[in-house]
Amino acid sequence: MTLGECLVALVAAAPGPLAETTVFERHVAGAEANAAVGLARLGHSVAYIGRVGNDGFGTAIVRKLRGEGVDVENLVVDDSGPTGLMIHERRALGGAHVLYYRGGSAGSRLGPADVDHAAGLFKGARWLHVTGITPALSPTARAAVERAIGLARDARLTISLDLNLRRKLWSEAEAALVFRDLAAKADVVMGDEDEVRLVTGTQDSGEVLAKALLAVGASTAIVKLGGEGAVAATASEAIRVPALDVPAVVDPVGAGDAFAAGYIAATLDGKPLDEALRAANACGAAAVTVVGDMGGLPDRNEPERLLATTPGADNLR
């Protein structure tokens, strides 16, 4: 299960500054929706809780998620706000700008009542995945995440949190307070080094940073290192897994969500931590080779094929 705001992303059809871009491709996006589709493609049943506008973009989102096999019975079509929009520039040199148009969106109106309406799903689920994006959207969206975590705890689900800091949505100071609270309630917490440093208040890196995240309350801490792979720590082990070699990064947006889907799917399949991290890296690598958040999400057999020639994990203790 997951919950959040699903967006339509208008991605520049060719590299160049946004001021000169005239043609865009439409994609469905949103961190939690990306993870949901990724899990569905990897063979797991997934339910999504959210809101979209009663407009063409909202219709496209519902059709896309349903077509990917995601349960959208609790994806509400809301007349009171539009579907959120993201404009994504593409650059051949330097970082690309991303613009959000999600203030007052249907997705930001997500609230605890939406979660309560889906409460029956928690009784049959095994896992709840949340991100640090949804709490930044509105007070009601933050309360929805809190309510979902509470229901998941009562139902004994595994809870994962992908920090996913979005500085355009809130300040680092506010995000840090919320992240620490959520991380203390989650079983698995993942993020890149900057995000994890924000939570832990340290300037450490790698394994030491993962261990610092454990001290916040998580039982499994994962630090994503981009091109260097990933590090994970539990109370009993610490593991570093190298990244896959990607000849050319076409679009990095959505790689972290693919990573999360790969890790969750492998863990639900009973894989040990090192194999779950390797699968996560493979899914993240596949995602960056295609334009759009979801286009590169692999199916069930793809991670194993990608990993066939990749080195294994290094146990750090």
Q: Which residues are catalytic, by number?
A: 257
- Tokens 């931590």 correspond to 273
Give the β-pairing of 188-192 and 47-53: unpaired
198-205 long-range Cβ contacts below 8 angstroms, 24+ apart: 198/163, 198/165, 198/172, 199/163, 201/176
- Tokens 């919950």 correspond to 3
